[in-house]
Amino acid sequence: MLKWTWISAVVLLLDQLSKLWVVENFALYESVSIIPYLNLTYVHNTGAAFSFLSTAGGWQRWVFAAIAVIAVIILTVWLKRLKRDETWLAFSLSLILGGAIGNLYDRIAYGYVIDFFDVYYQQWHWPVFNVADSAISVGVTILLIDTFFNERRESSTA
């Protein structure tokens, strides 16, 4: 089932190209309104999801990088062991894998993750995120839905 890794490669490519574009066209913390409720805002995230531990002093860079390496290994082995009919699971894991590699690259190369999607409503802003984060979120959502429906199918056939 490693044939699905092309999806991971596409996610990685889109993630890195979009980050390069933002870095080349925006100053740090610069924000441009795209449409209502969406800005492009260039930020550095030294923490994990939602900037968790972003002010921890630097040690978190390597801890999060190590966690990402372990996740990449687990996802790759999991993908390799899937059955042919587990297409939604393969798709979801490939999205997660591509996103994990994209953010891992940033963390190792720069010491932070480049984020730029700023979704907001009035004064409330969701934490700024990127293409890799989006792929991970969509992948996890598909994984949860697939797991839920597979469990329901298996329990109804038992």
Kindly list the catalytic residues.
Answer: 115, 133
DSSP state of 47: S
Q: Kindly write down the DSSP assignment for every residue of 73-129, as one continuous string.
A: HHHHHHHHH--TT-HHHHHHHHHHHHHHHHHHHHHHHHSSEEEEEEEEETTEEPPPB
Using alpha carbons, select from 95, 92, 97 the residue that is nearest to residue 149: 92
The Cα–Cα gap between 12 and 132 comes to 7
